Amino acid sequence: MEIRTRSSFLMDVLRDVAAGKLVPASFQRPYVWRRPDVEAFWTSITKEWPIGSILIWEPDASVDVSRAGRTRLGPIEPAGEPKGIILDGQNRLATFAWSLRMPGDPMPDPSLLSEAEAEVWGSKQLFVFDTHERRSRFAHEDEVMGDHLIVPACIVHDSTKLWPFIRKREKQIDISDEAITWLDHFGKAVRSAQCTTTILDRASPADAFDAFRHIARVGVPMSEQDFADAMAWALEDAPAAPSL
């Protein structure tokens, strides 16, 4: 077994999923993120904070990857011969895929959605960038054509879709230069979002599962209160953080 670690653009990892090169591990739990998790994930992207790591198993030819993996990640149902199996990072990748789904694109069979997927993504809610409130949030798709500029996350990173959308909206509402600059920043942040990808190359099923159990479960997550207590000495005289 060889272990390789590299920095990867999140968009590139998602393209590998769409091309059928990567599939989620069949033993992983279903999608469980709720809206606060999605909003926190997008805060990390737009503020260019680290967004965690992805663990991928690339077994040798003796392992049937199609049997070890599932056929869907979020709204993406890959078509192709998979090469790698996503052992950890499924919720982040699925959230990114759901967020970038274009309205009108085919939806998976509703009966196949997890409870969280149905709640967060199964309605006519989009993840958007609101230039009036200067924040990213969920919105009903009807709000996108309201009285100020709201841009779906699925087009903010793609100039071939974003600028025609803005030109259309300019005929209906006033759009400030500051709003365009704000959107441009987020478009760049999405395109440049990176994650650490660790690849278990030619690992046996036992080694891959052992690595997953260790990497995904080692340690106890630090709570916000733990962090506040540990950093109290530095935060006493600091200005209050802005509310999100």
Instruction: Output the tens digit of pLDDT for each of the chain's 244 residues.
Output: 888 999 999 999 999 998 988 988 877 778 999 999 999 999 999 999 988 889 998 888 777 776 666 678 999 987 777 888 898 899 999 999 999 998 888 888 888 899 999 999 988 789 999 999 999 999 988 899 899 999 999 999 999 999 999 999 999 999 999 999 999 999 999 999 999 999 999 888 888 878 777 766 544 444 566 556 655 555 455 455 444 4
* Sequence ranges of the domains in the chain: 2-219
pTM of the predicted structure, to 2 decimals: 0.84
Beta partners for residue 199, in sequence order: 4, 56
Residues 43, 184 contacting (CB under 8 angstroms): no
How would you write 19-65 as a 3-class SS string? Answer: CCCEEEECCCCCCCCCHHHHHHHHHHHHCCCCCCEEEEEECCCCCCH
